[in-house]
């Protein structure tokens, strides 16, 4: 009986410790052009700068005055980023499957590299802003890869 109690106590301590795990996060974004004739630009973007979101946040007291006008666009923009060339989904002949496979290889290489550096892929989200009709030749496919890494594992 004492062994069972000890085992349960030990297990609950491990689970409690796991639930208190703290993480740092990293986001990698791919922007893949779906503009016909290969005229767009496609990139894999990685932020390498430091930003404090609290410095860019204002508070509304009555719901109407956001004071966001006091935050300058230049305060939000960063200069430190890695930009990796990707290929456009379309060329002059239409959709280019070789370009898609090439992009997959580049993205896979980046994901593997981050995993080797101790990052865990936690979430993936994507969206499309596609061609809006006859006079709209614009469009992108964007994917955000959200990674996390345990702060305690990182300290070792």
pLDDT-derived band at 114, boundaries 50, 70, 90: very high
pLDDT of residue 5: 64
For the whole prediction, is pTM greater than 0.85? no
Instruction: Identify the domain containing residue 68 by its residue range.
Output: 21-51+60-155
Burial class (CB in 10 A: 0-12, 13-18, 19+), 16: exposed
C-alpha 84 chain-centroid distance: 14
Q: Of 90, 85, 89, 125, nearest to 107 (Cα)?
A: 85
Report d(CA 61, CA 15) in Å as an integer: 40
* Residue 1 lies inside a defined structural domain of this protein: no
> Percent of the chain having pLDDT more than 90?
37
HEC string of 81-137? Answer: EEEEEECCCEECCEECHHHHHHHHHHHHHHHHHHHHCCCEEEEEEEEEECCCECCEC
Inside any domain, residue 45 = yes
- The count of structural domains within the chain is 1
Inter-residue contact 8 to 18 (CB < 8 Å): no
pLDDT in tens, 75-105: 778 889 999 999 988 877 778 899 999 999 9
pLDDT score for 69: 65
Whether 102 is covered by a domain: the verdict is: yes
- pLDDT tops 70 at residue 4: no
Evaluate whether residue 136 is within a structural domain. Answer: yes
pLDDT at 130 over 80: no
> Is 13 a domain residue?
no
- CA gap 96, 24 in Å, rounded: 37
How much is the pLDDT for 107? 96
- Quote the distance between the C-alpha of residue 128 and its chain's center: 15
Q: Is 131 contained in some domain?
A: yes
Lowest pLDDT segment from 61-65, 105-109, 131-135: 131-135
Whole-angstrom Cα distance, residue 137 to residue 156? 51
| Spatial distance between the Cα atoms of 140 and 116, rounded to a whole number of angstroms | 29
**3-state SS of the chain: helix, strand, coil percent to 5?**
35, 30, 30
In a domain, 8, yes or no: no
Classify residue 28: in a domain, yes or no.
yes
User: pLDDT for 5-52, tens place per residue?
Assistant: 666 666 666 666 555 668 999 999 999 887 776 677 899 999 998 888
């Amino acid at each position: 009986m004492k062994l069972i109690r000890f085992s349960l106590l030990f297990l609950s301590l491990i689970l409690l410790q796991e639930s208190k795990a703290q993480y740092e996060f990293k986001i990698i974004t791919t922007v893949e052009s779906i503009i016909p004739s290969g005229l767009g630009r496609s990139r894999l973007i990685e932020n390498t700068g430091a930003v404090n979101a609290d410095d860019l946040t204002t508070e509304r007291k009555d719901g109407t005055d956001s004071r966001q006008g006091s935050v300058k666009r230049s305060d939000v923009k960063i200069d430190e980023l890695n930009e990796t060339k990707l290929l456009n989904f379309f060329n002059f002949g239409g959709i280019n499957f070789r370009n898609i496979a090439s992009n997959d290889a580049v993205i896979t290489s980046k994901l593997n590299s981050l995993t080797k550096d101790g990052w865990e892929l936690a979430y993936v989200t994507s969206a499309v802003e596609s061609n809006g009709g006859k006079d709209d030749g614009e469009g992108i496919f964007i994917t955000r890869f959200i990674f996390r890494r345990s702060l305690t594992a990182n300290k070792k």
